[in-house]
Amino acid sequence: MSLLRTCSSLLLLVPSLAFAKAPSPAAQRWWSHVEALAGDDMEGRDTGSAGHRRAAEYVAAKLAELGVQPGAGQGYLQDVPLVSRQVVKERSRMALVREGQEQPLTLDQELILSPLTSHSGTVDARLVFVGYGLSIPEAGYDDLAGQDLKGKIAVIVLGGMPSSVPGNLASHYSTPDELARTFARAGAVGVIALPNLHVMEIPWERAVESQRHPVMALAHPTGQETGDIPLFTLFNPAAANSLLAGSGHTLEELLALADAGKPMPRFPLPVSLRGEVALEKSELSSLNVVGRLPGSDPTLAGESVVLSAHLDHLGLGAPENGDRVYNGVMDNATGVAALLEVARVLQEKKAHPRRTVLFVAVTGEERGLLGSRWFASHPPEGSGRMVADLNLDMFLPLTPLQRLVAYGVEESSLAAPLKATASRMGVEVMRDPNPEANGFTRSDQYSFILEGVPAMSFRFGYRKGSKEERLHKEWHAKRYHAPGDDLSQPVDREGAARFVSLLADLTSRVADAPERPSWNKDSFFRRFERPGAPAPTARPVP
């Protein structure tokens, strides 16, 4: 990492490159934040780490420089109380038991004990395969119907969804929280998830790495939690046929059904899982950064438009090519940098939006949307009634900005100002090309959705089969949640700068519109709305 950075900065001194077109000031300013936030000295901005705190202080200082007011009471920093728990592998073991014979499983090679596991202790339970493990009353779809899961472990395919179920509905019900709720209701004691390699965004080795981090939770409940899974494991698909042996089914057959969006069969497996899990728990805290641009309209100033982006990333981890810093450039220094530059554009244009605009760099996204949950459920005084969230997470400026995916565009009236802005700039707003990746429920906008706030999140789009698609796929395979998401990678800085102006224009439109945004009548997410809710006063911190 540091080696690569040195090399690339040396390259800038090579005279032939001086002929390259100079970056625009807007692109340069945006990139300077990315460099500051994703440098090796920030050590990957892990939730609760010193590096994350330094990054939070950088964001607060920049907001102050831009004349954005503190939005977290006395200052810019909102404390987020957390607890963490981690599986102690040395004191944990797992085995399959078939016809009385124990077959020990090699942890991390065959089976990952996910830190989503909430209970220490022993387990000895039969296995039942229940397809996607989805139970969606609104769609009349239930993988658990007629299955007895009491005291048993549910085996599911993770990734893919029945095509009969509308995408956003399936997205909502396949979040870890909702799966936990489904299985808890059925009385299951655990889950074995078989990742569908065809839609999995990362190789097995990186999945192992990502599970090495402790799991974190908010230290105080927010009312958004939906349940715990006593035991949560991932089974290596390469070894899956040892799990399915004797069931009359193979993984290939099941994945073919998943890929075709068809329901999968459900059946008991002639095998059980036996073992012991040791967990370690501790307390910590981390920071959200909140800036506030008070609205200029006496009435509408009591409502706020939130721009959010997660500042945290994965910290230090397993090295790749000797590099152990998970810098998180695309994920998500670029998003926080865009948030700061939108603040600059609004200030320099003297836009004076009618509604209040909140700039919120949240912590704990990678640990389960924790900082945004805390903020959305405990907004600091002066936040007003939040009426929209525009979230930035890995918007991926790999190419010039021609197409934009807006997660949630089908769900609310935010579509209209977005389309107006985009068409003015000659940008095509397109449908999510990968709905099975659950983009709308996988980042911080979801915490706002659960509080009833209409939301959108963004990513540069591409056409199927294009060069851009190849770039996106390669980026996921090589750099997503890896040390390679660093400052040496190619980034389309002009594309990012154009995205910043699009976002600034969108923010103004939403903040100035006479009507506050609303969920579409037929939107699934409308259920979280609190009709006629008075402007929220800050909820007391327990």
CA separation for the pair 254, 256 (Å, rounded): 5
CA separation for the pair 422, 87 (Å, rounded): 46
**Which CA distances in Å does 481 have to 236, 288, 476, 514?**
19, 21, 8, 41
- Which CB atom, from 108 or from 331, has the smaller least distance to Zn ion? 331
What character string, x for contact with Zn ion (CB under 5 A) and - otherwise, covers 272-311?
Answer: ----------------------------------------
Binding segment (CB under 5 A) for Zn ion, from list 169-177, 237-245, 331-339, 371-379:
331-339
Q: What is the closest distance, in whole angstroms, from the C-beta atom of residue 434 to Zn ion in the complex?
A: 16
CA separation for the pair 243, 246 (Å, rounded): 9
Binding segment (CB under 5 A) for Zn ion, from list 4-12, 25-33, 263-271, 328-336:
328-336
Q: What is the closest distance, in whole angstroms, from the C-beta atom of residue 481 to Zn ion in the complex?
A: 6
Q: What is the closest distance, in whole angstroms, from the C-beta atom of residue 487 to Zn ion in the complex?
A: 17
- Which CB atom, from 237 or from 364, has the smaller least distance to Zn ion? 364
Stated as kind and residue range, the H or E segment containing 326 is strand 323-326
Binding segment (CB under 5 A) for Zn ion, from list 166-174, 324-332, 356-364, 367-375:
324-332
- Which CB atom, from 253 or from 474, has the smaller least distance to Zn ion? 474
**Total Cβ atoms within 10 A of residue 80:** 26
What character string, x for contact with Zn ion (CB under 5 A) and - otherwise, covers 345-384?
Answer: ----------------------------------------
Q: What is the closest distance, in whole angstroms, from the C-beta atom of residue 366 to Zn ion in the complex?
A: 5
For Zn ion (CB under 5 A), the number of binding residues is 1
CA separation for the pair 117, 193 (Å, rounded): 13
Packing angle of the helix pair 25-38, 493-512 (nearest 10 deg): 100
- Which CB atom, from 213 or from 403, has the smaller least distance to Zn ion? 213
Residue 46 makes contact with Zn ion by CB under 5 A: no
Q: What is the closest distance, in whole angstroms, from the C-beta atom of residue 157 to Zn ion in the complex?
A: 23
| Residue with smallest beta-carbon separation from Zn ion | 331
Please report the beta strands in 88-120, taking only residues with DSSP state E, as ranges in sequence order.
Answer: 93-98, 101-104, 111-113
Q: Is the alpha carbon torsion for 433, 438, 440, 444 positive or negative?
A: negative
Q: What is the closest distance, in whole angstroms, from the C-beta atom of residue 166 to Zn ion in the complex?
A: 26
Binding segment (CB under 5 A) for Zn ion, from list 68-76, 96-104, 176-184, 326-334:
326-334
Binding segment (CB under 5 A) for Zn ion, from list 87-95, 299-307, 325-333, 501-509:
325-333
Q: What is the closest distance, in whole angstroms, from the C-beta atom of residue 330 to Zn ion in the complex?
A: 9
- Which CB atom, from 210 or from 383, has the smaller least distance to Zn ion? 210
Q: What is the closest distance, in whole angstroms, from the C-beta atom of residue 314 to Zn ion in the complex?
A: 7
- Which CB atom, from 331 or from 492, has the smaller least distance to Zn ion? 331
- Which CB atom, from 51 or from 275, has the smaller least distance to Zn ion? 51
- Which CB atom, from 267 or from 480, has the smaller least distance to Zn ion? 480
CA nearest to 420, candidates 513, 485, 304: 513
Asked if residue 425 lies in contact with residue 498, where contact means CB atoms within 8 angstroms, the answer is yes
CA separation for the pair 370, 117 (Å, rounded): 17
Q: What is the closest distance, in whole angstroms, from the C-beta atom of residue 202 to Zn ion in the complex?
A: 11
Q: How many helices (H) and strands (E) are present in the chain, helices listed first? A: 14, 22
Question: Which of 27-32's residues contact partners 24+ apart within 8 Å by CB, and which partners?
Answer: 27/493, 27/494, 27/496, 27/497, 28/493, 29/341, 29/344, 30/337, 30/338, 30/341, 30/493, 30/496, 30/497, 30/500, 31/337, 31/491, 31/493, 31/496
Pairing verdict, β 93-98 and 267-277:
antiparallel
Residue 444 makes contact with Zn ion by CB under 5 A: no
Q: What is the closest distance, in whole angstroms, from the C-beta atom of residue 363 to Zn ion in the complex?
A: 13
Q: What are phi and psi of 524, to 5 degrees?
A: -60, -35
- Which CB atom, from 163 or from 434, has the smaller least distance to Zn ion? 434
Binding segment (CB under 5 A) for Zn ion, from list 13-21, 283-291, 327-335, 422-430:
327-335
- Which CB atom, from 46 or from 331, has the smaller least distance to Zn ion? 331
Residue 331 makes contact with Zn ion by CB under 5 A: yes
CA nearest to 535, candidates 243, 199, 304: 304
Stated as kind and residue range, the H or E segment containing 209 is helix 204-210
Determine the distance from the C-alpha atom of residue 43 to the mean position of all C-alpha atoms in its chain, rounded to a whole number. Answer: 20
The residues that bridge with 290 in the sheet, in sequence order, are 360
DSSP string, 112-176: EE-TTB---EEEEEEEEE-TT--EEGGGTEETTTT---TTSEEEEEES---TTS-HHHHHHHTSH
Q: What is the closest distance, in whole angstroms, from the C-beta atom of residue 334 to Zn ion in the complex?
A: 12
Binding segment (CB under 5 A) for Zn ion, from list 114-122, 144-152, 323-331, 521-529:
323-331
- Which CB atom, from 44 or from 237, has the smaller least distance to Zn ion? 44
Alpha helices in 382-492 (DSSP H): 415-425, 445-449, 467-478
CA separation for the pair 477, 475 (Å, rounded): 6
By CB under 5 A, the residues from 135 to 174 that bind Zn ion are: none
- Which CB atom, from 331 or from 389, has the smaller least distance to Zn ion? 331
Binding-site ranges for Zn ion (CB under 5 A)? 331
